[in-house]
Amino acid sequence: MAYKMVVCDLDETLLNDQKQIPAANVAAIKAAVAQGIYFVPNTGRSYLTVQDNLQTLGLEQHKNEYVISYNGGAIVENFHNQILQTRAMPFSVVENLFELGAAKGYCIHVYTVNQLYIWNISANEIDYLTGRVNSWHESNEPNLDFLRGQELIKIIFFVPQEADRLALRQQVAATYDYPLNISFSSDRYIEFNSVEADKGQAAIALGRRLEIKPAEIIAIGDNSNDLPMIRQVGLGVSVANGRQFVKEVADYITTTNNNQGAVAEVLQKFVL
């Protein structure tokens, strides 16, 4: 199979633990792009936080190059950061989730298309975000009324214990009528999107725009929110440091981890 597009998670996949792209990954990605391959970061984060990474890869502000953000909540062309597609949630749904998270005392992130608002932030969270997220607004507002009327793409909670994340997913799935895409990332977040937004649906939609078939796409990831793209494309890859449940559905598991240039391994083996 001749692959034409690679969609790739950022944290714990493309980036090393120092929040940088290993040199081997940079070289392999540039070589693949030079051969006409689309390399598309596919992240739970905002596209605005990816700009430094795009610059490193030589993709910043390029026409006909793309980023998928917010777990598939937005598809963005790098040139002028043009928003091509969004999948927002109703305000009432995000408001109810916000009230649930606030009642439990969680650190809460709410994403509009262009902004990130955070409540109840901790030193641990600031340390994790610094170097990954270049700007956010810390809010003391007791509700989301100030965001009424805006497109709300994603809401997430920092829930440190996996058992608590699993229990919360079960609670929300059992009590909310609105269908949600509920996923986990970075072994610290539970994430809520519209059921129409996941990394797989967005990868397929972008492929359709570019006349690329699902079978011609490679997806690389490590965690729960990467499962839809790993399942739906032609070659689904888990990095060596990926969660076991990701490895179980992947077509290929790298021998190298995110610190050792796992993405370069994939590109060398299947593209270059």
What was the pLDDT predicted at 134?
79
Give per-10-residue mean pLDDT for the chain (272 aa): 96 97 98 98 96 98 98 98 98 98 97 97 95 92 97 98 97 94 95 97 98 98 97 98 98 98 98 97
Q: What is the CATH number of domain 5-86+197-270?
A: 3.40.50.1000
d(CA 233, CA 222): 15
How much is the pTM?
Answer: 0.94
| Residues ≥6 apart with Cβ < 8 Å to 30 | 57, 58
What was the pLDDT predicted at 104?
96
Please state which architecture CATH assigns to domain 91-194. 2-Layer Sandwich (3.30)
Residue 86: closest CA among 64, 61, 111, 122? 111
CATH 3.40.50.1000 domain locations along the chain: 5-86+197-270
CB contact at 8 A, 11 and 50: no
CATH 3.30.1240.10 domain locations along the chain: 91-194
What was the pLDDT predicted at 118?
98
- 83 to 5, 66, 74, 75, 96: CA distances (angstroms): 19, 10, 7, 6, 27
d(CA 82, CA 75): 9
What was the pLDDT predicted at 1?
78
